[in-house]
Amino acid sequence: MKKCLIVFISIAIILSTQLVSALEKTDPENDVDHIIQNPYSIEPVSSKPNLDVKKVSYTVDEGVATLSITVKGEIEDNELITYYCEYEGSDALYQFTYKNGNLNSKTDDTFGTAQDHTIDPPNTLTVTFDVVGAGGSDGELYGFAGDNFPNLDGNEYWMDNTVVEAGGTPGGGEETTDGGNTDGSGTPGFETILVVAALGIAFVILRRKK
């Protein structure tokens, strides 16, 4: 009886002390970029709250990886508006795009891997995946919302992301939290074009593999 009790207590302790991996990145409000391509200009606007990313988060718990993106306004179902979130770690990659009620997802090299997605009214979109890799949180977390993007033929679009601040200015307003550690570093504004190009490629790939 004593041995059974010891085994039971040991199992309970192990289960109760399982670590939950978590990572969160916040983004300043009212920093949506309005970008005109010809002639090129970029300026911050506050008139697009449904694109104004407030935070993105990533958690792993009991074999489920969860990605979420929260905006200042509402998650909007619109054929011109795209929401994107990504976590890339040393042994795992999770991505999703959400546009007009349609979800495209990817885990590592496999497409369509999301378990489910929910919208927590009015402003948080959450997508769950089966865990791949070790389930750590040592990677990079990224979020994006865009209107009329990618639009290679059009002249203007709106976007907000967790890398570059409004107006293409150097980063610094973004904040990443992992287990109590905070990193307020950012990315110089000249990389806005590289971010846009990379996102355009990612969206095209996810769309083709739907």
Q: Give per-residue pLDDT as tens, 140-194.
A: 999 999 999 877 667 899 999 998 544 444 333 556 666 433 333 333 333 344 4
Which range of 10-19, 26-35, 200-209 scores highest in mean pLDDT? It is 26-35
Residue 186: predicted pLDDT: 34
**Token pair belonging to 84:** 């994107």
Q: What is residue 25's predicted lDDT score, i.e. its pLDDT?
A: 95
pLDDT for the residue 204: 56
Quick one: pLDDT at residue 173? 54
Say what the pLDDT of residue 150 is.
Answer: 75
Distance from the Cα of residue 163 to its chain's centroid: 11
Q: Select from 69, 66, 65 the least CA-distant residue to 56.
A: 69
Rounded Cα distance, 196 and 209, in Å:
20
DSSP summary character for residue 78: -
- Give Dmax (Cα) for the chain: 80
Q: What is the dihedral of CA 88, 92, 95, 181, to 10 degrees?
A: -40
Q: How many Å apart are CA 76 and CA 13, to the nearest integer?
A: 44
Contact 56, 141 (CB under 8 A): yes
pLDDT of residue 135: 84
Cβ(168)–Cβ(89) under 8 Å?
no
**pLDDT tens profile 24-59:** 999 999 999 999 988 999 999 999 999 999 999 999
pTM: 0.74
Give the distance, in angstroms, between the CA of residue 111 and the centroid of all CA atoms in the same chain.
17
Is residue 12 packed enough to be buried (19+ CB in 10 Å), middle (13-18) or exposed (0-12)?
exposed
60-93 pLDDT, tens digit each = 999 999 999 999 999 999 999 999 999 999 989 9
The DSSP bridge pattern shows strands 21-26 and 175-178 to be antiparallel
Give residue for tokens 């919302």: 145
Residue 4 CA neighbour count, 13 Å, CB half: 1
